Chain A
Amino acid sequence: ETGVTQTPRHLVMGMTNKKSLKCEQHLGHNAMYWYKQSAKKPLELMFVYNFKEQTENNSVPSRFSPECPNSSHLFLHLHTLQPEDSALYLCASSQDRDQTYEQYFGPGTRLTVT
């Protein structure tokens, strides 16, 4: 595997379910991000982790719970979601120390909440 991978690619869940999204980066980066991409809206930054520590939480509802066990893996745990949470969830990573400021994105998980 190369770059940033995300699983699953598609997920359908009911409002009472609990599921998790997984992201893995194979680039040796130290920062990882979760974004939400909804139709007709700009990408919304949800969480930022730097060296496994959460450095940004953009007022995300508590039904979204991130976890970063190491610099290569990032999870987004989901519970009691709402239909408006249906979106494409993108994971990204970057190497902050080299000052290139480029983020590398995974292909996303298409989430549908029924």
Chain B
Amino acid sequence: AQSVTQLDSQVPVFEEAPVELRCNYSSSVSVYLFWYVQYPNQGLQLLLKYLSGSTLVKGINGFEAEFNKSQTSFHLRKPSVHISDTAEYFCAVSPYSSASKIIFGSGTRLSIRP
């Protein structure tokens, strides 16, 4: 079985400051890793994903994440946030054997202060 832990339920950040949203996962099998974003009153949208290859993954809106297998982490980062980044961010994993079965973390609410 797989599980995903997002250590921070809320992260307040000032505009133009850097941000890191933390994600750790647990799995006995190899997994794909994802970050999704949910803006208010909308569904989830894929930010980025790690399937294989380079452990540093770049996504949309200037976000990037680094896969660390030894620490079973997939933290999300952005060097300078904007008001428009205010949203809830979900880390997720899916096993190689059943890629359609995505397991989500409980989410981190990112709030940007002017």
Contacts and interface: CB of A to CB of B under 8 A. Distances in A.
Interface of A: 4, 31, 33, 40-43, 45, 48, 50, 55-56, 90, 92, 94, 96, 99, 101-103, 105-108
Interface residues of B, number: 24
Given A31-B100, A96-B100, A41 B49 contact: no
B101 A101 contact: no
Contacts of B110: none
Nearest to A101: B99
A48 B106 contact: no
Contacts of A102: 34, 46, 49
11 contacts: A55-B100, A56-B100, A92-B43, A101-B34, A101-B94, A101-B99, A102-B46, A103-B102, A106-B43, A107-B43, A108-B43
A5 to B, nearest CB: 10
Interface string B41-61: 111111001010000000000
Contacts of A4: 43
Given A42-B106, A50-B100, A103-B46, 18 more contacts: A4-B43, A31-B100, A40-B106, A41-B106, A42-B103, A43-B104, A45-B101, A45-B103, A48-B100, A94-B100, A96-B99, A101-B34, A101-B51, A101-B99, A103-B44, A105-B43, A105-B45, A106-B43
Nearest to A110: B41
B32 interface: yes
B43 A48 contact: no
B32 A101 contact: yes
Contacts of B49: 101-102
A101 B30 CA distance: 14
Interface of B: 4, 9, 32, 34, 36, 41-46, 49, 51, 90, 94, 99-107
A43 B100 contact: no
Contacts of B32: 101
**What 7 pairs between A and B have smallest CB-CB spacing?**
A105-B43, A43-B104, A105-B44, A42-B106, A42-B104, A101-B99, A107-B43
